[in-house]
Structure 1
Amino acid sequence: MADPTPVFDDLRAESDELDRLVADLPPHRWTSPTPAPRWTVAHQIAHLAWTDRSALLAVTDEDAFRALVEKALAAPDSFVDDGADEGARLAPAELLASWRQGRAALDAALRASPPGARFPWYGPPMSAASMATGRIMETWAHGQDIADALGVERAPTDRLKHVVRIGVRARDFAFAAHGLPAPGEEFRVELSAPSGEVLTYGPEDAAQRVIGSARDFALLVTQRAHRDDLDVRAEGADADRWLDIAQAFAGPPGDGRPPKGDAR
């Protein structure tokens, strides 16, 4: 079993980077609208704080987490927004402190978890490493919304490999979410990471291929940018269809983002 410590370290680093982006914002910037409809910068941080607390319960108190799942099932269309709304009503300093406290507690709980442990989640149970990988994906994606709202260009890092991995593994889920049968063959995926490393998945001789930038693939599968604006290309009809519907997150398909030239 691989040592999950590097994944935990990457989650801490991704969170710390986002913290630096918002830590010194004046109060009025916390109400800046982000690309997510109706969500401000405060909503984005509040959502991360809420999901960190959910993950902490999953790792430390399964009964309390099950109660949280039941609450979510009772309001499937609103529980995510409700959690973000509640946190966004806090004063920025209080919200920032809450997020910091929650993610520190989750970090400690993940590092203390026994090898091989699996924890409940809103989908299948997850290992500690998988839980941390999911938190990296969410932190990076919601951090992108905040960066867009603030007009900041973030320097990409090789932590994107975690987002890429989830996006690749979620291929069949993306097809199912659109009511489509999953392709019967594996795809070849070749993506260039910021360091120059090429991230590869699937057989080298696969007919269906996806090639391009790891950062742009991460933007695609988290639906933070439109395919037309990204350096990701497909070879083969099934791979091409996948790039139209790809998603790395659970739940129903999102609306995504319009192309940059689209005035909608």
Structure 2
Amino acid sequence: MGRQETVALLADLRAESDELDTLVAELDAEGWATRTPAPGWTVAHQIAHLAWTDDWTLQSARDPEGFHPAANELLVGAAEFDEIVDGAAAAGAALPHGELLARWRAGRAAVLEALDAVPEGARLPWFGPPMKAASMATARIMETWAHGEDVADALGVKREPTARLRHIAHLGVRTFGFAFSAHGLAVPTEPVRVELTGPGGELWSWGPEDAADRITGPALDFCLLATQRRHPADLSLTATGPVATAWLPIAQAFAGPPGEGRAPSGRE
């Protein structure tokens, strides 16, 4: 991926962040305290998590050699990584909402600048595998969109899907092997064809055309699946073949241990 593609990704990251900003900018204290579908997390927790992750993205981009020592220090004494994530979100959510919003805005602006300055081809350390700047930007788009979905759900807002979903879908496909490994399963060698319908009716596809295993359906639904924002039973995705069928319930586009996902509609 060249310089032009990276610039385009950073523009999409800015747009995705700005869209979420419009949902929270005018909220009062009660709005920031609204519970989201993530257990124990309010709107403030969601934004605090994004701000915290931006801090680590900056650490990775600006001081890659210092990333792992800092990360190891973070992990000392923690039983689970989720414990650290929840603690950081809670700490950020405890800030006055104006201060939290300003912190998130400043952090995400700094991330755009830092990723833009990463030398082409350089790999940035992370809690999962290292990534190039373009992949890091893609991951930030995915996470911003996913947590934005939680915020939108909490506020009763229906967001219109955009072409930026292609980045998230691409990441969902690229993490095929990781999803199986994260669950302690052997990574299948059989290819899977993924055919998704984009927001404008266009076809997005990955994998060999003649693959026996296939996943088809709306791109939005695949993104909701890969970010574990909806249960597979609530999505209009079709899996054909044993590998695709096994992948559907464990897909995850994010690094780290498997999440619990969401229960089907109508269930607690």
Q: Same fold (TM over 0.5)?
A: yes
Task: Say which of 66, 69, 72 aligns to 1:67.
Answer: 69
Q: State the partner residue of 1:152.
A: 157
Paired letter, 2:245: D
Paired letter, 1:17: E
Paired letter, 1:133: T
> Percent same amino acid at aligned positions?
58
CA apart distance, 1:63 = 4.3
Counterpart secondary structure, 1:256? coil
Q: State the partner residue of 2:27.
A: 25
CA–CA separation in structure 2 for the residues paired with 1:191 and 1:84 = 33
Per-residue CA deviation, residues 149-205 of structure 1 (Å, 9 max, x unaligned), is 111101110101111111111111111122211111110000011022211000000
Counterpart secondary structure, 2:255? coil
Gap runs ≥5 in structure 1? none
Per-residue CA deviation, residues 11-39 of structure 1 (Å, 9 max, x unaligned), is 00000000011000111110111111111
CA–CA separation in structure 1 for the residues paired with 2:254 and 2:61 = 20
Q: Following superposition, which runs of at least 4 residues in structure 1 exceed 4 angstroms of deviation?
A: none
Paired residues for 1:212-251 under 5 Å:
212-251=217-256
CA–CA separation in structure 2 for the residues paired with 1:32 and 1:67 = 36
Q: State the partner residue of 2:96.
A: 91
The answer to whether 1:191 aligns with 2:193 is no
The answer to whether 1:136 aligns with 2:138 is no
CA–CA separation in structure 2 for the residues paired with 1:244 and 1:53 = 31
Paired letter, 1:152: V
CA–CA separation in structure 2 for the residues paired with 1:62 and 1:33 = 35
Task: Say which of 168, 171, 178 aligns to 1:173.
Answer: 178
- Which region of structure 1 is more displaced relative to structure 2, 218-227 or 245-254? 245-254
Paired letter, 1:46: A
Q: Is the 8 A contact 2:195 2:204 kept in 1?
A: yes
CA–CA separation in structure 2 for the residues paired with 1:179 and 1:64 = 30
- Which region of structure 1 is more displaced relative to structure 2, 64-73 or 165-174? 64-73
Question: What TM-score do the two structures reach when normalised by structure 1?
Answer: 0.97
CA apart distance, 1:259 = 1.0
Per-residue CA deviation, residues 97-138 of structure 1 (Å, 9 max, x unaligned), is 000000001101111222222211112211110110000000
CA–CA separation in structure 1 for the residues paired with 2:73 and 2:33 = 28
The answer to whether 1:43 aligns with 2:45 is yes
Paired letter, 1:121: W
CA apart distance, 1:230 = 0.6
CA–CA separation in structure 1 for the residues paired with 2:60 and 2:149 = 26
Paired letter, 2:60: A
* CA-based RMSD: 1.1
Q: State the partner residue of 1:211.
A: 216
CA–CA separation in structure 2 for the residues paired with 1:12 and 1:254 = 26
CA–CA separation in structure 2 for the residues paired with 1:169 and 1:252 = 17
Q: What number of residue pairs does the alignment pair up?
A: 263
Gap runs ≥5 in structure 2? none
Paired letter, 1:204: E
CA–CA separation in structure 1 for the residues paired with 2:118 and 2:139 = 16
CA–CA separation in structure 2 for the residues paired with 1:67 and 1:195 = 45
- Which region of structure 1 is more displaced relative to structure 2, 178-187 or 206-215? 178-187
Paired letter, 2:35: P
CA–CA separation in structure 1 for the residues paired with 2:197 and 2:9 = 20
